Structure 1
């Protein structure tokens, strides 16, 4: 499909960004408001899919209920000349799926992404919306690190006029690698369904692969019947508490999972805080002796001096290195210091007496003292 014409007299597609099974996403511009937008349109294959138009409508209605910094905003929805389209916030960045393709993520980054996803998921749940397809491909990370949840096309919406399901109660909706056991069995879903998918996503971010692999039917069977391989067997540096949280999120029975996304976010935040504290405790600490640093010393953005980056102090002001400290002490004991001073004074006195004797006993005409030595001629 080549989409170059104006939609609704205001939305101009400019560049194709990506193509899926039923739709295309274009970078475009809203000429009326003069702002960049993303335009999703159905392809010919999508037009032949009976539920595609309903999914477009559902995504628009779901996103219309949600205004949140961690959810991609939908601005408009319409149909023109057989083209159904969604106009959305244009988000620059990479999906988590693209990040995982480069390898497992650092623990802190994975936890941060999961925390932000929890914020968006919690906002959706408060509005009565269950996403039903939380996965790395539906999480976008901007260059600044902000996470945005997208694609509410199969979301479960609050009941309206007695109709709440997309197709039917036994229809399996979602992506097999990130699908909850209740979805695989065609059972009713609730907010804990999204938490299971978030657990699969967290697992994939840390291990580099989702918890289960194989053909789609095999993966669905494993979601329902098999425990996932312990995360720490694939990634030993994952903290024990984070491994435990991932296991709880991946519980087969929704009743065994955490109660809500806000609770999960709190536990992730505690893990991140403890990780930061451990990193700070392990970092070497430089204790400066003597007067405070001069006013011109470099400082970090939070106002602290940056070690080793201020102007160099004059050589005569550099204090000698202190003697090695014993365990539990910060300075040399006073009595020991007095003994050291007395010994030093005695040695100095003896040296002065020896120098005086040499001076008195040496004749003034000694050429070795009166003039410098001359090296022998070659």
Structure 2
């Protein structure tokens, strides 16, 4: 899993131990080659280093984070490339993080506020510099004792998915779901543009977690959690934590508003309001938004009110989501543009995709399949109105009652290739389905990103098509069906499958 071991010399740094690992790379504690100190070296996984999209993201991390100079932000010392592998040397912080601190339960209110205040100051500094963090969560808040015994230090780390507010490069158009779902703002989940108040929302979720010992929204699956952020009302922390002033409910109602315009003006203002509510029991002033040229107050939900979102725009469609949640099928809510016709077995006499028209896909329906988009950020478009790899246009699809998949996309690129991306409950469901597939030619190539694939070739009534499965988790819950009129099985494999960002 890790490319470097203790004692290795890399870019002049002597590796001492592994500090952690993520989807893009690993972080090591390393000895500086010239100074008597440790640094944290982040190394992009070699499997991704050759890919220009991933290299661009990694290089941008150093460029953006290196512009920040704040006592509550982990500093960037150096960056470079070694044997084609990109790396960043960062400030080493000895200690723990807020996620580890939460393992013992909720934090004392004053400590929670102190952590949130320092994090808010770091975020406001980044926002002033034109940067978003986009992944604020307890695990990215480092805690360390001050060298001079001045108490606990708080530092925000991992700007690896930060972006300039004015950035418009293709690297962010893929719609990667980069935020941890428990702390992700609604606009990060339904395709709207993120902004500084998106980070504020994530910080508010983090503060809620620090105070209550649990985040505001919890669920057993990704689709239900996304639905909670998009549709559910903000939980009353006063009903979760004994002795918590009810004034704090109003702070979280505003900081976690579905509409970013209804939140606080800055992260620091949000934390200050929470401090006031906790210490004096006084609720903050209601936010005012321009409406037809006049200021209108936002209506905070009263105690005992039925389950409705606090913002009018988010309330639309709320009842439908709640019904689906009660049925345990939140991830299957969709209004489709194309009806898929998979019925639990492969019909080798027809192309797997039909062209039956249906109403347009909604943003909230699209959000239900965000976990699939997160697996294939460089393949699938971020929302119904954008395009993915090679101009790929997709519709979120409903299914027949007999189908074994949960959510699906039906897509066509600018060259006429058609691909269905079908997500299943678990790998076992895929295994059972594939066992029903008729015997035929099978290949086991690797994808562009080195993932092992099993490809089944079929001949339908309109031409050849492929059934593609992934052999390793978490992708092993997904099946692809590929059809390209006028192309043979091998041409589809050579000209699309081998180069697609899978």
TM-score tier, shorter chain, comes to 0.5 to 0.7
TM-score norm. by structure 2 comes to 0.51
Counterpart in the other structure of 2:217:
212
The question of 1:140 aligning with 2:142 is answered yes
SS at match of 2:248: helix
SS at match of 2:9: coil
Q: 1:106 to 1:11 in 2, by over 3 A?
A: same
Structure 2: how far apart are the matches of 1:257 and 1:270?
17
Counterpart in the other structure of 1:38:
40
Counterpart in the other structure of 1:5:
8
Instruction: Please state which structure has a larger fraction of its residues in helix.
Output: 1
Contact 1:115/1:269 (8 A) holds in 2:
no
Match of 2:195 among 185, 190, 201: 190
Contact 1:22/1:45 (8 A) holds in 2:
no
Structure 2: how far apart are the matches of 1:48 and 1:106?
46
SS at match of 2:133: coil
**Displacement of 1:102:** 1.5
Aligned ranges for residues 356-375 of structure 1 at < 5 Å? none
**Displacement of 1:59:** 1.6
Structure 2: how far apart are the matches of 1:138 and 1:49?
26
Measured on the aligned residues, the alpha-carbon RMSD in Å equals: 2.2
The question of 1:223 aligning with 2:211 is answered no
**Displacement of 1:74:** 0.9
Counterpart in the other structure of 1:243:
249
Count of matched residue positions in the alignment of Structure 1 and Structure 2? 272
Counterpart in the other structure of 1:360:
none
Q: Deviations over 1:283-309 (max 9, x none)?
A: xxxxxxxxxxxxxxxxxxxxxxxxxxx
Q: 1:50 to 1:232 in 2, by over 3 A?
A: farther
Q: 1:172 to 1:186 in 2, by over 3 A?
A: farther
SS at match of 2:227: helix
Q: Which runs of 5+ in 1 are unaligned?
A: 276-378
TM-score norm. by structure 1 comes to 0.67
Higher relative contact order (CA 8 A, sep 6+): 1
Aligned ranges for residues 66-85 of structure 1 at < 5 Å? 66-85=68-87
**Displacement of 1:64:** 1.1
Structure 2: how far apart are the matches of 1:116 and 1:94?
16
SS at match of 2:206: helix
Instruction: Please state which structure has a larger fraction of its residues in strand.
Output: 2
When Rg is computed on C-alpha atoms for both structures, the one with the higher figure is 1
**Displacement of 1:49:** 7.0
Counterpart in the other structure of 2:172:
167
Contact 1:75/1:88 (8 A) holds in 2:
yes
Contact 1:158/1:164 (8 A) holds in 2:
no
Counterpart in the other structure of 1:156:
163
Contact 2:244/2:278 (8 A) holds in 1:
no
Contact 2:97/2:140 (8 A) holds in 1:
yes
Structure 1: how far apart are the matches of 2:229 and 2:273?
24
**Displacement of 1:141:** 1.2
Counterpart in the other structure of 2:267:
261
**Displacement of 1:133:** 0.7
Q: Deviations over 1:120-143 (max 9, x none)?
A: 011001101111111111111112
Q: Deviations over 1:258-301 (max 9, x none)?
A: 011232243245457659xxxxxxxxxxxxxxxxxxxxxxxxxx
Structure 2: how far apart are the matches of 1:93 and 1:252?
35
SS at match of 2:18: strand
The question of 1:123 aligning with 2:125 is answered yes
**Displacement of 1:65:** 1.2
Q: Deviations over 1:153-212 (max 9, x none)?
A: 11121436xx35633164433111111000001211111000100111011111211111
SS at match of 1:17: strand
Structure 2: how far apart are the matches of 1:217 and 1:100?
25
